[in-house]
Amino acid sequence: MLSNRQIADSFDLLADLLRLKDSAGYRFEVIAYQRVAEALRELPRDVRAIAAEGRLQEIDGVGKAIASKITELLDGGTMRLLEDLKAEIPQGVVDVLRVNGVGPKKAMLFYQQRGITSIAALEAAAREGKLRDLPSMGAKSEQKILEGIEALARRTTRARADVALSAAERLLRPLQTVQGVLRAEIAGSLRRGRATIGDVDLLIASHDAAPIMEAFVNHPDVVRVLGHGETKSSVELHNGLQCDLRVVPPDRFGTALSYFTGSQAHNIRLRELALQRGLSLNEWSFSATDGSGAEFLCATEEEVYARLELPYIPPELREDRGEIEAAQANALPTLLEIGDIRADLHMHTTWSDGRLSVREMAWQARERGLQYIVITDHSQSLGVANGLSVERLWAQREEIQSVQAEFGDALRIYQGVEMEIRADGSLDYEDEVLAALDVVIASLHTALRQDRATITARLLNAINNPHVDIIGHPRGQLIPDREPADLDMDAVFAAALATDTVLEINANPHRLDLDSAHARQALKLGIKLAVNTDAHSAADFDVLPFGVRTARRAWASPEQVINTWSRERFEAWRQDAD
């Protein structure tokens, strides 16, 4: 019986084989199969159950033809088209596509000219100089392939935060209704706001674990029970995630939540502090080390930290990166909260690749309590996103002004752009065009595998342009599929600080870029941040918490994030930037 993940993998493989067969001729089919693979992989229910209900076409991206292919997989374990393609092209050639810098044409070139059908064979051929004489290759290209293979070995297999959070909430919601449940929390790296998650940890406070465990292992999202104990159970979900549930007595919940939230490094520091006070600390309690047998229970995390003479440390900071010392000095930051966000400065409409009109995006923003927004559709060079020519940009301005008249003081709508930084480093609009816009975001979308000097120079050219206000998703990463561009971030930070250019934390869970480590370094230097959704639809506004968590992991306070500012202060900043 195929799982959701296996069916999704079949569609991904189908897309890759079609790319190898003829990347141009099957472009739309490839996109469709990739889209449905992602939808299936994140599907919270068993696709077999949905098929039994006759509702396959309600899945995002599934039409009649794809529904037929899903049914074929469910009934026979494979599909004819996939088997035909697998007979033509070895699986190993698909694996080669995973290497940065190797597209379908090169993968097929290596296969047809050198018989390469695995990453190991590709690496051996590159090291032996057997690729450089092929068309469009050379010694530098060989070196880039070796670097791509090294990057592939580092690539994460962890789940994105949004996928893990959705799974955790679906599991926890019905458990909270079981009689006797007093508290229920998500723990682990998901609670700490990590961008990717290895597995999901859940913790429940109750005096009666048995009915909770039964409900957990019998949840419809569970595909396999890995362990079923009295107070701990582990399961595998349809999307492949492992989830562990622990049930603890309420008076021990605080120490357990602290322990299972982690991080390991933070927990070690807490245990060291306990020992200095004549105590040992584990997941269940504090115990005296003097042999008296005295035990100290903590029902809340606040009690845990108080026992160690510390103020409460927010989960996002618990990485042993100075939070203990800051707490001891009573110098923990006042962290950014969702309620601090007053504006979204990066969003797209139907003028480029968004799904809603200017008016519809404005209504969505207003319903969420935002006070001002910036419409930032793509610029002209990003043709795949229907980027705006200068003429269309001015036409859009008329529409924005019309919508602004409808909203009055209820919402201020600014016109901006997400301007493409071209592969040669030039910008997509002339300076006089940029000067006429309210906000200019400059972003890298193409040629992200350029060498460090080249791609850094591209970004610096944008930062040093006096009309560029914000750098969008600066490193260009896509989680988990694309590593960040090889940028000299020290040079980027220096230029951003010198020009007062804002760096974005893009809240989309596929990006979360800047990541928390780089965002924290930027803040230490005095660089301002913006936390934006990059919304292309109404649902995209709801990714904001992922960006806020990333900012909190960077120790960001509201003052350091420009879209927490009042409209008057934002206006003043814009005028100073001009």
| Residue 182 DSSP one-character state | -
Burial label, 329 (beta-carbon count in 10 A; 0-12, 13-18, 19+): exposed
Under the banding of pLDDT at 50, 70 and 90, the label for residue 236 is confident
Q: Is the pLDDT of residue 503 over 80?
A: yes
Q: Please tell me the distance from the alpha carbon of residue 575 to that of residue 569, in angstroms, as a whole number.
A: 10
DSSP 3-state percent helix, strand, coil across the chain (nearest 5):
50, 15, 35
Stretch 531-554: mean pLDDT: 97
Q: What does the pLDDT read at residue 578?
A: 66
Band of pLDDT at residue 23, cut at 50, 70 and 90: low
- The CA distance from 458 to 468, in Å, is 13
Dist CA 28 CA 35 (whole Å): 11
Q: State the average pLDDT over residues 294-323.
A: 97
Residues 20 and 439: their CA atoms lie apart, in Å, by 41
Quote the pLDDT of residue 26. Answer: 80
Q: How confident is the model at residue 312 (pLDDT cuts 50, 70, 90)?
A: very high
pLDDT tier at 224, thresholds 50, 70, 90: confident
* 59, 62, 65, 68 alpha-carbon torsion, rounded to 10°: -30
Arithmetic mean of pLDDT, 358-373: 98
Return the structure tokens found at 343.
Answer: 């504006």
pLDDT average, residue stretch 463-488: 93
| 460: CB partners within 8 A, 6+ apart | 491, 492, 495
pLDDT for residue 206: 98
pLDDT band at 228 (very low <50, low <70, confident <90, very high): very high
pLDDT tens digits along 5-19? 899 999 999 999 998
Identify the pLDDT of residue 395. Answer: 98
Q: Are 309 and 335 in contact, with CB atoms under 8 Å apart?
A: no
pLDDT at 71 over 70: yes
pLDDT above 70 as % of the chain? 99
CATH topology of domain 159-248: Beta Polymerase; domain 2 (3.30.460)
Exposure class string for 126-146: b at 16+ Cβ within 10 A, else e = beeebbeebeebeeebbebbe
pLDDT at residue 383 greater than cutoff 90: no
Give the SS3 label for residue 123: helix
What's the rounded Cα separation, in Å, for the pair 71 and 57?
11
Q: Mean of the pLDDT values across residues 266-287?
A: 96
What is the pLDDT, as a whole number, of residue 155? 62
Q: What was the pLDDT predicted at 3?
A: 81
pLDDT > 60? residue 24 = no
Handedness of CA 406, 407, 408, 413 (dihedral sign): negative
pLDDT tens-digit series, residues 420-440: 999 999 999 999 999 999 999
pLDDT band at 401 (very low <50, low <70, confident <90, very high): very high
Tell me how far apart the alpha carbons of residues 504 and 343 are, in angstroms, rounded to a whole number. 13
Distance in angstroms (rounded) separating the CA atoms of residues 417 and 389: 11
pLDDT tens column, 92-140: 999 998 887 788 989 999 999 999 999 999 999 999 999 999 998 999 8
Query: Contact at 8 Å (CB) between 377 and 347?
Result: no
Q: Do 349 and 317 contact (CB within 8 A), yes or no? A: no
Strand partners, 525: none
Structure tokens of 210? Answer: 């048995």
- Dihedral (CA of 9, 10, 13, 14) sign: negative
Residue pair 106/83 in contact (Cβ under 8 Å)? The answer is no
Report the predicted TM-score, pTM, of the whole model to 2 decimal places.
0.82
Indicate whether 44 pLDDT > 70: no
Q: Kindly report, residue by residue over 403-419, the tens digit of the pLDDT.
A: 999 999 999 999 999 99
As to burial, measured by CB atoms within 10 angstroms (0-12 exposed, 13-18 middle, 19+ buried), residue 482 is middle
The type of residue at 143 is Q
293 torsion bin: left (phi>0), alpha (psi -120 to 50), beta (else): left
pLDDT more than 90, % of the chain: 79
Q: Among 384-388, 509-513, 531-535, which is the least confidently predicted range? A: 384-388
Considering only CA atoms, which of 177, 178, 173, 196 is closest in space to residue 186? 173
Least confident of 14-28, 257-271, 439-453, 552-566: 14-28
- Across 279-306, b (16+ Cβ under 10 Å) vs e yields bebeeebbbeeeeeeeeeebbbbebbbe
Contacts of 358-361 with CB under 8 Å at 24 or more apart are 358/396, 358/399, 358/400, 358/403, 358/413, 359/403, 359/406, 360/538, 361/535
Q: Tell whether the model's pLDDT for residue 237 goes beyond 80.
A: yes
- The interaxial angle of helices 544-553 and 516-525, nearest 10 deg, is 60
Average pLDDT score over the chain: 93
**What CATH fold (topology level) applies to the domain 4-154?**
DNA polymerase; domain 1 (1.10.150)
Strands 232-237 and 200-205: unpaired
For the domain spanning 254-328, the CATH number is 3.30.210.10
Residue 483: per-residue pLDDT: 83
| 49-62: average pLDDT | 90
pLDDT of res. 41: 79
Residue pair 466/403 in contact (Cβ under 8 Å)? The answer is no
| Structure confidence at residue 481 (pLDDT) | 81
Give me the residue spans of the domains in the chain. 4-154, 159-248, 254-328, 338-577
Report the pLDDT value the prediction gives residue 203, as an integer from 0 to 100: 98
- Identify the CATH class of 338-577: alpha beta
Q: Is the peptide bond before 514 cis (omega within 30 degrees of 0)?
A: yes
Would you give the distance in Å from CA 63 to the centre of its chain? 27
Interval 156-213: pLDDT, tens: 578 999 999 999 999 999 999 999 999 999 999 999 999 999 899 999 999 999 999 9
